[in-house]
Amino acid sequence: MIKRIQAWLSRKDRQEQPVEISPDNIPRHVAVIMDGNGRWAKRRGLPRIVGHQNGMKAVKRTTIAANDLGVEFLTMYAFSTENWKRPKEEVDFLMRLPVEFLALELDELIEKNVQVRVMGDTDALPAHTRKAMEEAVNRTKHNTGLILNFALNYGSRKEIEDCMRGLGRDIQAGLLSPEDITSQLIDNRLMTSGLPDPDLLIRTSGEMRLSNFMLWQVAYSEFWFTDAYWPEFDKTHLLQAVAEYQRRTRRYGGLK
């Protein structure tokens, strides 16, 4: 027990130390798997929806912090293709969250020159969710600052399957030959076309898996995990993640 307390105190001291960030090595693209809303609420004896509401506040905090830090692209895993398996009441609430979030925060995002994008099977979203996202995309499309990319009803395996089907149809139609297929061509056919691959992937709540998120794109991303639940995530956590990213050497399979 004493050793556990000592380890906890040591970890706490490390977390409270000032985080030093070099402005010369900021990750261009940060991807976030936002996890732990329900468990955060459960620990407090609250309904899961309260966790999702507080998670929405963390989205704003993180977006502003990333923008201030100089991150160019921020992709947030908001709802996966597998999340439809959750209870209907929770799914319905999650589908209302983008509407609520954008109603409250879109004007400030516009003031901060943030451009909103969305990737995923948006046709399957409820009309009110789709309308809110389309409005946000249209109203911010000329902004030139941070690109805030929501992965909504997104699943990487389906994304790759759709890409392969498209390539197969083009080969069948004589528009492509198998030799034409390159990594760059696949990049251009994925939902992230036009975006650089994530430099840094963050996952909250202590889980250490990708959960069908950007499987192709994170091939050489640096991963950073934290035990903090998503509603607890703030600027300090982001700075810790970036500081750890800056301590690493990215070799891309080489020896440099």
Active site residues: 35, 83
Residues forming beta bridges with residue 29, ordered by sequence position: 73
210 in a labelled binding site:
yes
254 in a labelled binding site:
no
Q: For residue 241, give both structure tokens.
A: 């993640």
82 in a labelled binding site:
yes
44 in a labelled binding site:
no
230 in a labelled binding site:
no
80 in a labelled binding site:
yes
222 in a labelled binding site:
yes
22 in a labelled binding site:
no
Q: Mark out the alpha helices in the chain (DSSP H runs).
A: 2-16, 37-43, 48-69, 88-111, 127-140, 156-172, 183-189, 235-247
Q: How buried is 179 (Cβ within 10 angstroms: 0-12 exposed, 13-18 middle, 19+ buried)? A: exposed
How is 181-200 classified by DSSP, letter by letter?
A: --HHHHHHHSTTTTSPPPSE
Q: How far apart are CA 117 and CA 134, in angstroms?
A: 9
81 in a labelled binding site:
yes
φ, ψ for residue 248 (rounded to 5)? Answer: -95, 155
Amino acid at 141: K
189 in a labelled binding site:
no
| Residue ranges of the binding site | 35-40, 48, 52, 80-82, 84, 86, 203, 209-211, 222
| Residue ranges of the binding site for substrate | 36-40, 48, 52, 80-82, 84, 86, 203, 209-211
| Residue ranges of the binding site for Mg(2+) | 35, 222
